[in-house]
Homo-oligomer: A and B are copies of this chain.
Amino acid sequence: MKLKARTFEFFAGRPVAILNTHTAHKLNIHVDERITIMKGKKKIISVIDTTSQLVKEKEIVLSNEIVKELNLREGSNVEVDIAKEPDSTRLIKKKINCGTLSLDELKQIMSDIVKNALTETEIAYFISGIYKCGMTNKETEELIKAMVSVGKRIKFKGKVVDKHSIGGVAGNRTTPLVVSICTASGLIFPKTSSRAITSAAATADVVEAIADVEFNTTKLKKIVHKTGACLAWGGSLGLSPADDKIIQIEKILHIDPEPQLLASIISKKISVGSKYVIIDIPYGPSAKVTKQRAKKLKKDFEFLSKKFNLKLKCVLTDGSHPIGNSVGPNLEMNDIIKILKRDPDRPIDLEEKSVFLAGQILELSGKAKKGQGKNLALKILDSGKAFKKFEQIIKAQNGKIPNKFEFGKFKYTFNASKKQKIKSIDNKKINMTAILSGTPMDKQAGLYLHVHKNNLIKKGHPILTIYSNSRTRLQEAKEYFKKAKPIK
């Protein structure tokens, strides 16, 4: 059936179409069923709502997700038809009953996810199946292939390197430093990062404090071509669209089954053509994983990467406490600039970790001899070349490094009530304190740690300062900090 598209700047978070009740009747379709919408050769699947008054009979209201995907204008003609139930529901049932899926079956599921033929509920069942039953090594390998097959791929000339941290450590903003050091050595580093959804800030949020991070693949290629690197948000690139959708649904319960974690990371590295990859796996009490799980992950990462001709190395690092002094976009960027500018007040632990990771990449890619990576990395940092490279990347991303950073206009500092030794600092609780202060939406919010693990401090010594642009949020963060006691 031919219908006239009405756009109305209608946002629903997913493809949704609103039909006139009579039109739905003519199509013999009911609320909660799905239609295909075609424009030329482009096609998308959508759920429907119906109304007898908001939309005329010959029209269809399309949510922005559809308008964008089909490149529609207000008033465009589209072809609408009933969508068949996707075959992949049967395959998802197979997985939830702990069956093993073949490459073709996984491709079918990934393709149906990308076409929006599967609802979020169906994808949740798929994730539950992986969570419950796991996947064989072979199956995880096929999942990676399937994810790559439905996404875009970018190719770059030169030695393309990458890094990834599985996360869970507060602060720990090594990426901008590692990228600047390695790229200054002549490597190609097309780094894509995530935004915080449940954490206080992710690399994309921190870089966004001073530059753009959302690009399409054409623009991204230009930046990398010009500077040898980028510090972009991965979400807008469509490199692994099935994975993006799966992650969105995993976030609902904060579950992250291992085969999916492996596939998610490796598929994205393949999509940007990386050849040398370092994976940082921080472990420890308040980190994301235990030492045991970290070892298992390392084994699985290294096994799988061989299947894809990736030179990949996992490093297990101490993730039992925050790294760097800051949590929050502006605060963390301030730490990074201090390190790049060789400021005496810079956070040494963050520098050491970044130099270590950069050194690993320099060795893996053959830029440095075994055992010499760290020295080379430090040399590049000391020479000012890393800072210059960072400035170049930020400029290419329409940004500028400010002389001074602004932090939240309300602040509060906790001081030591007596002489004491800092025994532990809990990542999760430090993160939560920062989230309550308003980060990452409020770029100037967050916290500054005046102490590190094992420091011996006098009475009255500052422990932690919280910043916020909202008095209420500052109060909430303060109260949480007092109650949760992240620092012991």
Distance (whole angstroms) from the CB of A330 to the closest CB of chain B:
21
Mark interface residues in A2-25 (1 if CB within 8 Å of B CB, else 0).
000000111111001010010000
Stretch of A247-255, A413-421, A474-482 lying at the B interface: A247-255
Whether, in the assembled complex, A52 has its beta carbon less than 8 Å from a beta carbon of chain B, the answer is yes
A50 at the interface (CB under 8 A from B): yes
Query: How would residues 42 to 72 of chain A score, 1 for a CB under 8 Å from any chain B CB and 0 otherwise?
Result: 0000010111111000000101000000000
A215 at the interface (CB under 8 A from B): no
**A255 touching B51 by the CB < 8 A rule?**
no
18 pairs from A and B in contact (CB 8 Å cutoff) = A8-B53, A9-B21, A9-B52, A10-B49, A10-B53, A12-B31, A12-B49, A54-B61, A119-B120, A119-B252, A121-B121, A121-B249, A122-B252, A122-B253, A125-B128, A128-B131, A128-B132, A131-B132
Whether B49 contacts A16 by the Cβ 8 Å rule is yes
- Residue A271 is within 8 A (CB to CB) of chain B in the complex: no
> Cβ of A63: which chain B residues have Cβ within 8 Å of it?
49
Contact of A51 among B8, B13, B96 (CB under 8 A): B8
Asked if A166 is at the interface (CB within 8 A of a chain B CB), the reply is no
Within 279-319 of A, Cβ neighbours of B (below 8 Å) are at none
Is A199 in contact with chain B by the CB < 8 A criterion?
Answer: no
CA gap between A224 and B114 in the complex, in Å: 51
Residues of B with C-beta under 8 A to A32: 13
Chain B CB within 8 A of A93 CB = yes
Q: Does A350 contact B (CB under 8 A)?
A: no
- With beta carbons under 8 angstroms apart, the residue of B12, B13, B96 that contacts A131 is B96
Q: Is A89 an interface residue (CB 8 A)?
A: yes
Task: Check: A261 CB closer than 8 A to any chain B CB.
Answer: no
A299 → B minimal CB distance (Å): 23
| Complex contact B51–A31 (CB within 8 A) | no
Question: SS class of chain A's interface: helix, strand, loop or mixed?
Answer: mixed
Does A336 sit at the interface, judged by CB under 8 A? no
Q: Which residues of B contact A53 (CB under 8 A)?
A: 8-10
Contact check, A31 vs B54: say whether CB atoms are below 8 A apart. Answer: no
The reply to whether B10 and A51 form a contact with Cβ atoms under 8 Å apart is yes
Q: Which residues of B contact A119 (CB under 8 A)?
A: 120, 252
Q: For the complex, give the distance between the alpha carbons of A129 and B255 in Å.
A: 12
Q: A49 to B11, Cβ gap below 8 A?
A: yes
Query: For the complex, what is the distance from the CA of A10 to the CA of B131, rounded to whole Å?
Result: 37
Pairwise interchain contact A31-B11, C-beta atoms closer than 8 A = yes
List residues of chain B with CB within 8 A of the CB of A10. 18, 49-51, 53-54
Residues of B with C-beta under 8 A to A54: 8, 10, 54, 61
Q: How far is the CA of A11 from the CA of B30 in the complex (A)?
A: 10
The yes or no answer to A92 lying at the interface (CB within 8 A) is yes
A8 touching B52 by the CB < 8 A rule?
yes
Q: A124 near B: Cβ within 8 Å? A: yes
Contacts of A8 in B (CB 8 A): 51-54
Query: Which residues from B are CB-within-8-Å of A11?
Result: 21, 31, 49-51
Interface string of A194-232 (1 = CB under 8 A from B): 000000000000000000000000000000000000000
> Chain B: which residue is nearest A441 at the CB level?
B28
- Docked-complex contact A89 and B252, CB < 8 angstroms: yes
Q: Which residues of B contact A18 (CB under 8 A)?
A: 10
List of B residues within 8 angstroms of A129 by Cβ: 128
Query: A92, B21: Cβ atoms under 8 Å?
Result: no
**Contact indicator A255/B93 (Cβ below 8 Å):** yes
Residues of B within 8 A of A21 (CB): 9, 11
| Residue of chain B at shortest CB distance from A52 | B9
Q: Is the CB of B255 within 8 A of A96?
A: yes
Shortest Cβ distance from A84 into chain B, in angstroms? Answer: 13
Best-surrounded residue of A8, A63, A128 (most CB of chain B within 10 A): A128
